[in-house]
Structure formats: C-alpha cells, structure tokens
Amino acid sequence: MAKHDYPYKKSINVTAWILQILVCLVLISASAWLLWISENRNLDDILGDYQGLFTASAGVQIAIAGLTIVMNIVEIILISKKRMPPALFLTSACIKTTIWGIVFILKVIALSVLSIILVIILLATSLTQLIHAAIIVHRKRRGTLRGGKYAPAINPQGFEEGVYAQPAPGYYYPPPTNTEYKSPAASPPPPSQHGYAAVDAYPPQMPTGTYELDSRGRDL
C-alpha cells in the first residue's frame, strides 16, 4: 500500500478526535441508561405511544456515536502510519459532518438543550476536519501540495542541450556547462594522410565583415 505522508495538522485532528470520542462516549452512556430505564420500568404513563420511538432513537444514537468512534480510530491508525489518502480523509469528514448536521436539526426540533450542546461540539469538530481535508485535496489537485509521493521534477520537459526556455515557476534548471567560445572564422583544414593538405585545396577563408584589397584583408 502506497504511503501518503500529507500535512495533516495534529492541532486540528487530535483536538477533533479527543472531543468527538469523549462526547460520543457520553451519548452512548446516556442512551444506554435510557434504554435500561425503559426496559426495567414501565414508562407507558410518561411516554405513552412514544415509548417505541424513544427506544428507537436511543438505539440509533448509540449506533451513530459508535460509528463515529470507529471512523476516528481508523483515521488515527491510517494517519499515524501515513496510509491515509486525502480523498478518504475528505470522505470520512463529509460523512461525520452530514450525520451530525442531521442529528443537530433533530435535537433543535426536540428542544433538548444538553443534547444540542453536545451535538454542536461534534458538528463543529467534524466541520473543521472537513474544511482541512478539502484544502488538502484542493492543493493536491493543483499540484501545490508537498507530501506523499509528490516531488517537483528538475527538468520535466527534457530540453535538448543548448536549448533553454523560460523556466516554469517552482522548477530549477541548471545553467549550461558548455561555455566554450567559438570564433566566427573558419576552422583550419584537416590534416591529410601525408601531412597537411595543400593550401590550394583549401583556400583561406576571410572572416565575416571583411573585404580583400591588394591581397590584404581590411575591416569594413
């Protein structure tokens, strides 16, 4: 499995994990206590026809809180082992934000003050993780994220020797190493098998920008 060493901020994630796990444990304990009361005591006089709905809502709350704890444990393991892809982290944050957003609306309708406060903590921490994950995914798509297996190339366009274009932002192009000066005058004739070739076979070449007068070259 590929490593994903992305810059997940501990100040955001650790705070969110601790608060979410603690609040979820409180919700699970409260819901379990309410279920125990409904099973051992006759609440028909108090709840009436709503006893079944009360029991079902407590069970659903236990399931949602337990799912949040499991998702947080998975996030902790994957991020600590550098195995958490940004897309998976964003998906997990979206699921938690959606779930606790719906629960928050239901708590507001039920006018349960204590539950509203606890769910606000869960919703706020999940939303913070969602924003953090969205920023990481956005930077990864733009290629500006440092982490994982991403590394800027030294010469990604494969320029040929002697051909240099305008460098792209964020990349470093080494300077040319061949700085030898080449004269515009013609090179001397190559040697023949019996020494240098005859002068007549290779007439002298005048440099560019000169003319011949009285068998002497002068500058223009």
Residue range 68-84, pLDDT digits in tens: 999 999 999 999 888 88
| CA 189, 193, 197, 202 torsion-angle sign | negative
Q: Are 43 and 123 in contact (CB under 8 A)?
A: no
With a cut of 60, say whether residue 198 has pLDDT above it: no
Residue 163 lies in a domain: no
- At 122 the pLDDT is 95
Residue 5 lies in a domain: no
State how many domains the chain has. Answer: 1
- At 180 the pLDDT is 60
With a cut of 50, say whether residue 175 has pLDDT above it: yes
Q: Report the C-alpha gap between 52 and 39 in whole angstroms.
A: 11
What is the SS3 assignment for 47?
helix
| Residue type (1 letter), 135 | I
Residue 90 lies in a domain: yes
Residue 34 lies in a domain: yes
Strand locations in 25-178, DSSP E?
A: none
Least confident among 44-53, 72-81, 150-159, 202-211: 150-159
Residue 60 lies in a domain: yes
Owning domain of residue 90: 10-142
pLDDT band at 160 (very low <50, low <70, confident <90, very high): very low
Residue 3 lies in a domain: no
pTM of the model: 0.61
Burial class (CB in 10 A: 0-12, 13-18, 19+), 47: middle
pLDDT band at 54 (very low <50, low <70, confident <90, very high): confident
Residue 126 lies in a domain: yes
With a cut of 80, say whether residue 97 has pLDDT above it: yes
Q: Report the C-alpha gap between 172 and 153 in whole angstroms.
A: 8
Q: Which residue has the higher pLDDT, 83 or 65?
A: 65
The fraction of the chain above a pLDDT of 70, given in percent, is 57
With a cut of 70, say whether residue 51 has pLDDT above it: no
Distance spanning both ends of the chain, measured CA to CA: 73
Give per-residue pLDDT as tens, 98-134: 999 999 998 898 878 888 999 999 999 999 999 999 9
Residue 69 lies in a domain: yes
- At 171 the pLDDT is 47
